[in-house]
């Protein structure tokens, strides 16, 4: 190795990871040179965060659960309660216990209406106080809670004023200022952190924080920690003490620069789309890193197999028991082994020496893999333990060293601990304890398309022969060529009802559907019509959160929505802030039902848009600031006479599905609101006839949106 120089040091530090193959099994002189290089790099960095009191726990946080808050395992909508204890029980039983849970609230719901990412925390069941109870319960069980931040959310509702700080754009400093006033989301997110007691922030798509972002977080929680999705640069270590670790960063003989420089950095590896995790679990363990457990991937169920769960339980027991060794600042990566392709790292804690190993030789190994001292510095005999398999090693003497034989399958990790005689080592540290009987956990069977059957739809009272329902359009019977697609980005993440076996979905296969004759409302249901329903039916939802949020509510009428009134001048605008059940209740009262998705599309027509193949902004409400009266655009009528089938408001369809993990429905037509600035938003603005949007369902307060209304259909008596 060439002598240490500033150019070599800068080159090494600039890389997120370095090929360490030239330094495998290095001699003492080269090892000393590398140590000098490492210390010089440390001297150039601000590493004070790693000695800060109050965040010591983060250094040994090995298991993080990505908790997709729309998962039905998290919130019981029938009982109206969070199932946090059941989630944590399952984590202990199946994964060895979580150190962190990340509460993910936003994508892929952002962009359907103008609520921003922080609103989605505020509108969770029970509001921020409800989330405070979740956090308090997690804390009582020794689990920390992170919130999520999406820096790309720049096109939704902006936050009001906030106290000044250095960079008034905060985290928006890297993004266009379009629709983004000076106030940063950092202040609003800080308020959420303070109110619910969160411990950290996941920085989605980011590698580090920005100037102006840290101060509001620390005002909310002086011991806040960040968890970026990507590897940070070394200069970010002044404020970043942990991150995710993507799969390609753990492949030997590469070495993560941050891991080498600062082993107290908190890494958790992730390969979310994999259906088998043993490789990344073992490679991460080799580097002394934990895992992110993520099974509900934005609505696509990708459960961990039992073999992987058992393997992770083994690794996390070893990581926790030897946490001090894995934070050894003098640790030595890629020390010499006896077998080509078997790599080893060496770590120390007190009198104990630990080697983590990984067999990348391409074949099984059985025999000596390491040399280790036969005696301790003070002359005591050394004993050696294969903790991966729970057995003491019987070494062979070779001069003043011991040769340590073990057996390893191809790709398998290993863990050897050496200690002087008299120092106790727990041989069972890596072994499974007998499972105790307990409540059944999360169902982890893989789903099939049959698990996504449509909710049963009851027919409406039929239209009699010769009858023409008022303000409805007739759709004749016949075979319909039904083809539908997602329109929000190149692919739709989270899967839909035709591709349950993979994450990505965009085009649904075309199919021919025989539809009988039916009638469909000419317009979207208006505020005035919905008020008639309330007054006559005395409808009272079980949960009033955000119900008709924009209507006027006289004092004392909070539980009597039939006394409420629409905004003045908007009587003929479509009703919004209603969920599926609110729409179904109206339809039932009116002697109708909600349309099936294919019924909605057939009524919209067979061209690209309801009025023809070319988009015309004069024929619909798209990209505006608000809803319009339902008869404002007569020129935009579909082939059967329906208005506003593109734009104004999205429309509920009778399309609810529940795979046992995620509930969702399909909305059609798009709305007046156009949310721009990121590929990660849902589709927005008016939508073509063959485009649909999957909307995740959780509970009424979130399901009700300021851009979603509905129209109804009526069945025809069959002769």
Torsion angle (degrees, nearest 10) of CA 443, 446, 449, 454: 10
Q: What pLDDT is stored for residue 165 in this prediction?
A: 42
Q: Are residues 394 and 478 in the same domain?
A: no
Asked if the model's pLDDT at residue 177 lies above 60, the reply is no
694 and 646 in contact (C-beta within 8 Å)?
A: no
Asked if the model's pLDDT at residue 390 lies above 80, the reply is yes
User: Where do we find the tokens 């929505």?
Assistant: 561
Cβ neighbours around 28 below 10 Å, total: 7
Q: Are residues 397 and 543 in the same domain?
A: no
The answer to whether position 10 is within a domain reads no
Q: What residues form DSSP beta bridges with 663?
A: 658, 697
In this prediction, residue 154 has a pLDDT band, given cuts at 50, 70 and 90, of confident
Q: What pLDDT is stored for residue 500 in this prediction?
A: 75
Eight-class DSSP state of 233: P
**Which of 387-391, 403-407, 501-505, 528-532 shows the lowest per-residue confidence on average (mean pLDDT)?**
501-505
127 and 120 in contact (C-beta within 8 Å)?
A: no
Three-class SS of residue 582? helix
240 and 203 in contact (C-beta within 8 Å)?
A: no
In this prediction, residue 330 has a pLDDT band, given cuts at 50, 70 and 90, of very high
Q: What pLDDT is stored for residue 178 in this prediction?
A: 43
Helix/strand/coil (H, E, C) string of 317-342?
Answer: HHHHHCHHHHCCCCCEEEECCCCCCE
Q: What domain count does the chain have?
A: 3
The 10s digit of each residue's pLDDT in 61-73 is 999 999 999 999 9
Cβ neighbours around 100 below 10 Å, total: 28
Three-class SS of residue 174? helix
Identify the CATH number of the domain in which residue 333 sits: 2.60.40.1180
Asked if the model's pLDDT at residue 502 lies above 60, the reply is yes
Q: What pLDDT is stored for residue 211 in this prediction?
A: 64
Using a 10 angstrom Cβ sphere, with 0-12 exposed, 13-18 middle and 19 or more buried, the burial of residue 89 is middle
Asked if the model's pLDDT at residue 167 lies above 70, the reply is no
Identify which of 325, 239, 292, 311 has the alpha carbon closest to the alpha carbon of residue 100. 292
In this prediction, residue 454 has a pLDDT band, given cuts at 50, 70 and 90, of confident
Q: Are residues 521 and 373 in the same domain?
A: no
Q: Are residues 627 and 542 in the same domain?
A: yes
Average pLDDT over residues 164-193: 60
Domain that holds residue 164: 45-322
The answer to whether position 674 is within a domain reads yes
In this prediction, residue 10 has a pLDDT band, given cuts at 50, 70 and 90, of confident
Q: Are residues 523 and 413 in the same domain?
A: no
Q: Are residues 470 and 412 in the same domain?
A: no
The answer to whether position 689 is within a domain reads yes
What H or E segment, with its residue span, contains residue 301?
strand 300-301
Identify the CATH number of the domain in which residue 526 sits: 3.90.1580.10
Q: Are residues 167 and 275 in the same domain?
A: yes
Asked if the model's pLDDT at residue 434 lies above 70, the reply is no
The 10s digit of each residue's pLDDT in 79-102 is 999 999 999 999 999 999 999 999
Average pLDDT over residues 358-381: 97
Three-class SS of residue 216? helix
The answer to whether position 427 is within a domain reads no
Q: How many residues does the chain have?
A: 719
Identify which of 624, 628, 671 has the alpha carbon closest to the alpha carbon of residue 647. 671
**Which of 1-15, 357-371, 606-620, 665-679 shows the lowest per-residue confidence on average (mean pLDDT)?**
1-15
Q: Are residues 194 and 241 in the same domain?
A: yes
What is the C-alpha separation between 491 and 641, in angstroms, rounded?
A: 32
Q: Are residues 636 and 497 in the same domain?
A: yes
Q: Are residues 100 and 160 in the same domain?
A: yes
Identify the CATH number of the domain in which residue 226 sits: 3.20.20.70
| 512 contacts: CB under 8 Å, gap ≥ 6 | 479, 480, 481, 482
The 10s digit of each residue's pLDDT in 245-259 is 987 778 999 999 999
Task: Give, in degrees to the nearest 5, the angle at Cα 698 between 646 and 69.
Answer: 115
The 10s digit of each residue's pLDDT in 264-306 is 999 999 999 999 999 999 999 999 999 999 999 999 999 999 9
The answer to whether position 14 is within a domain reads no
The answer to whether position 448 is within a domain reads no
The H-assigned helical ranges of 322-400 are 323-326
Q: Considering the chain, what is the average pLDDT of its residues?
A: 92
Using the 3D structure, point to which of 278, 307, 322 is the last residue of a domain.
Answer: 322
The answer to whether position 211 is within a domain reads yes
In this prediction, residue 587 has a pLDDT band, given cuts at 50, 70 and 90, of very high
Average pLDDT over residues 641-662: 96
Q: Are residues 290 and 342 in the same domain?
A: no
CB-facing half-sphere around the CA of 55: CA atoms within 13 A: 24
In the structure, how many helices (H) and strands (E) does the chain have? 15, 36
Q: What residues form DSSP beta bridges with 662?
A: none
- Dihedral sign, CA of 65, 501, 70, 445? negative
Backbone angles phi, psi at 459, to 5 degrees: -65, 155
Backbone angles phi, psi at 647, to 5 degrees: 90, -175
Q: What pLDDT is stored for residue 215 in this prediction?
A: 83
Q: Are residues 334 and 298 in the same domain?
A: no
Tokens of 532: 């008639």
Higher pLDDT, 482 or 168: 482
What is the percent of the chain where pLDDT is above 70? 94
Q: Give how far the C-alpha of residue 13 lies from the chain's centroid of Cα atoms, to the nearest Å.
A: 31
Using the 3D structure, point to which of 370, 399, 420 is the last residue of a domain.
Answer: 420
The answer to whether position 677 is within a domain reads yes
Using the 3D structure, point to which of 275, 302, 322 is the last residue of a domain.
Answer: 322
What is the C-alpha separation between 557 and 561, in angstroms, rounded?
A: 7
Asked if the model's pLDDT at residue 223 lies above 80, the reply is yes
Cα separation of the two ends of the chain: 90
């Amino acid at each position: 190795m060439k002598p240490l120089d500033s150019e070599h040091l800068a080159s090494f530090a600039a890389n997120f990871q370095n090929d360490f193959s030239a330094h495998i099994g290095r001699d003492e002189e080269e090892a000393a040179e590398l140590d000098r290089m490492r210390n010089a790099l440390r001297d150039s960095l601000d590493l004070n965060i790693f000695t800060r009191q109050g965040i010591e726990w983060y250094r040994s946080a090995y298991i993080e659960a990505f908790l997709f808050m729309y998962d039905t395992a998290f919130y019981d909508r029938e009982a109206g309660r969070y199932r946090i204890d059941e989630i944590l029980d399952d984590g202990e039983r199946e994964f060895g216990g979580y150190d962190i849970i990340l509460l993910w609230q936003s994508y892929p719901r952002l962009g359907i209406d103008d609520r921003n990412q922080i609103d989605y925390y505020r509108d969770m069941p029970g509001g921020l106080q409800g989330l405070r109870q979740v956090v308090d319960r997690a804390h009582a069980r020794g689990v920390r809670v992170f919130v999520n931040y999406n820096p790309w959310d720049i096109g939704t509702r902006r936050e009001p004023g906030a106290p000044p700080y250095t960079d008034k754009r905060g985290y928006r400093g890297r993004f266009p200022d379009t629709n983004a006033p000076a106030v940063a989301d950092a202040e609003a997110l800080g308020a959420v952190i303070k109110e619910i007691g969160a411990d950290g922030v996941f920085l989605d798509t980011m590698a580090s924080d920005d100037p102006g972002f840290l101060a509001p977080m620390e005002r909310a929680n002086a011991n806040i920690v960040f968890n970026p999705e990507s590897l940070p640069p070394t200069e970010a270590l002044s404020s970043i003490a942990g991150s995710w670790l993507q799969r390609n960063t753990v492949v030997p003989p590469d070495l993560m620069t941050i891991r080498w420089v600062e082993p107290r950095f908190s890494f958790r590896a992730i390969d979310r789309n994999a259906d088998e995790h043993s490789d990344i679990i073992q490679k991460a363990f080799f580097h002394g890193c934990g895992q992110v457990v993520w099974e509900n991937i934005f609505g696509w169920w990708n459960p961990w197999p039992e073999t992987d769960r058992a393997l992770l339980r083994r690794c996390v027991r070893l990581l926790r028991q030897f946490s001090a060794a894995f934070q050894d600042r003098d640790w030595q990566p890629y020390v010499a082994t006896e077998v080509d392709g078997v790599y080893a790292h060496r770590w120390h804690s007190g009198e104990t020496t630990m080697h983590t190993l990984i067999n990348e030789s391409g074949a099984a190994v059985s025999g000596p893999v390491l040399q280790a001292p036969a005696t301790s510095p003070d002359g005591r005999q050394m004993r050696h333990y294969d903790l991966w398999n729970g057995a003491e090693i019987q070494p062979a003497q070779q001069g003043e060293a011991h040769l340590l034989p073990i057996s390893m399958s191809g790709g398998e990790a290993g863990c050897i601990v050496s200690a002087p005689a008299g120092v106790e080592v727990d041989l069972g540290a890596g072994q499974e304890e007998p499972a105790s009987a307990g409540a059944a956990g999360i169902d982890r069977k893989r789903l099939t398309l049959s698990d996504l059957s449509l909710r049963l739809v009851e027919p409406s009272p039929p239209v009699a022969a010769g009858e023409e329902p008022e303000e409805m359009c007739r759709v004749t019977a016949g075979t319909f060529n039904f083809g539908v697609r997602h329109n929000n980005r190149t692919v739709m993440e989270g899967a839909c009802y035709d591709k349950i076996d993979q994450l990505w979905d965009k085009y649904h296969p075309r199919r021919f559907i025989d539809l009988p004759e039916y009638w469909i409302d000419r317009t979207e249901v208006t505020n005035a019509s919905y008020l008639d329903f309330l007054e006559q039916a005395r409808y009272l939802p079980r949960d009033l959160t955000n119900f008709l949020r924009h209507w006027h509510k006289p004092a004392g009428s909070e539980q009597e929505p039939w006394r409420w009134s629409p905004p003045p001048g908007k009587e003929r605008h479509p009703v919004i802030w209603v969920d599926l059940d609110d729409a179904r209740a109206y339809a039932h009262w009116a002697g109708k039902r909600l349309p099936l998705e294919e019924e909605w599309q057939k009524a919209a027509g067979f061209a690209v848009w309801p009025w023809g193949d070319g988009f015309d902004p004069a024929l619909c409400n798209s990209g505006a600031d608000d809803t319009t009266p339902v008869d404002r655009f007569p020129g935009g009528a579909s082939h059967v006479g329906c208005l506003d089938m593109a734009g104004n408001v999205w429309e509920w369809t009778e399309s609810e599905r529940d795979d046992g993990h995620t509930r969702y429905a399909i909305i059609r037509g798009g709305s007046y609101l156009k949310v721009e600035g990121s590929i990660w938003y849902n589709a927005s603005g008016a939508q073509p006839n063959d485009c649909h949007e999957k909307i995740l369902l959780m509970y009424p307060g979130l399901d009700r949106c300021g851009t979603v209304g509905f129209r109804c259909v009526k069945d025809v008596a069959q002769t």
